[in-house]
Amino acid sequence: MPDAEAAAAAVARQIAETVATKPDAVLGLATGGTMEPVYAHLVRAHREGLSFARVRTVNLDEYMGLPPDHPNSYHSYMARHFLDHVDIPRGQSFIPRGEGDADAAAREYAALLERLGPVDLQLLGVGHNGHIAFNEPGTPIDATTRVVRLSDETRQANRRFFAEGETVPAEAVTMGTAQILSARSLLALAVGEAKAAALSSALDGPVDPDCPASYLRLHPSCTIFADKAASSGLR
Ligand code: F6R
């Protein structure tokens, strides 16, 4: 893809096609800077007639210790960029709980994913260090939905979203690599030079826990969209 905008538009098109052909699809959603233009495109598609009324959505992760109305919680992110602007009834969108007992929140979310059944299309961003969701380097392929400690690298990368002096949470609840890989299709997006090393390890390196994004190669239906900058390290 020539640039980040074209890659985001292509990803949004694929999601819109899934919803048009399967109006009650289960969509797995992601957050982060990369996804903001994807949601902008989907909101536009909705204004032009695409309905999300029967879709169910499950998010990949949530910081532990942030109330849902904290501006940096993924609850707030999803409301701001997508859920408040489309016709998905609120009871059909699920994000891990970021407050209270962390292990209980992870258990509840794992049970919810089990009840909902396979995700039809899982959207994924690639972290600077090759993480997917908050499955950090070192995560085995069969890791389940759980509480994780965020790496210093990830907390540093996400600092930019937090106010000066505010602490980036150290823990999160994340969908596990096992659940992610059980989706019917995966759709990953990586843009910008900062993702070049991670993308090259994911695609050209060994399939290895050091780079959880490398697991994507084992999925029978995974499409990865990247712009020129993120692809610049590929062989
Ligand atoms: C977000 C998530 C993360 C991000 C990744 C990239 O729900 O699970 O894996 O997709 O950290 O973040 P950005 O797009 O901010 O570079």
134 alpha carbon – ligand 1 mean position (Å): 8
Which token pair is 219?
Answer: 């999925």
pLDDT for the residue 114: 97
Measured from the Cα of 158, ligand 1's closest atom is: 15
Q: Residue with the nearest Cα to atom 11 of ligand 1? A: 127
pLDDT for the residue 197: 98
Judge whether 131 counts as a catalytic residue: yes
Among all chains, which residue has been given the structure tokens 């991670």?
A: 198
34 alpha carbon – ligand 1 mean position (Å): 7
pLDDT for the residue 181: 98
Whether the predicted interface score ipTM is above 0.95: yes
d(CA 31, CA 90): 17
Judge whether 158 counts as a catalytic residue: no
| Best residue for ligand 1 mutational test, from 59, 60, 168 (most atoms within 8 Å of Cβ) | 60
44 alpha carbon – ligand 1 mean position (Å): 22
Tell me the CA distances in angstroms from 201 to 73, 78, 131, 168, one per residue in order.
29, 29, 11, 26
Name the DSSP letter for residue 41: H
* Mean pLDDT of successive 10-residue stretches along the chain, which has 235 residues: 95 98 98 98 98 98 97 98 98 97 98 97 98 98 98 96 95 98 98 98 98 98 98 96
CATH of span 22-192: 3.40.50.1360
Ligand 1: does its nearest atom lie under 6 Å from the Cβ of 199? no
pTM score, whole prediction: 0.98
Ligand 1: does its nearest atom lie under 6 Å from the Cβ of 139? no
pLDDT for the residue 208: 97
pLDDT for the residue 65: 97
Parallel/antiparallel/unpaired status of strands 26-29 and 61-63: unpaired
Q: Which alpha helices (DSSP H) does 84-192 contain, by range? A: 102-116, 152-158, 177-181
pLDDT for the residue 38: 98
At 132, phi and psi to the nearest 5?
Answer: -130, 140
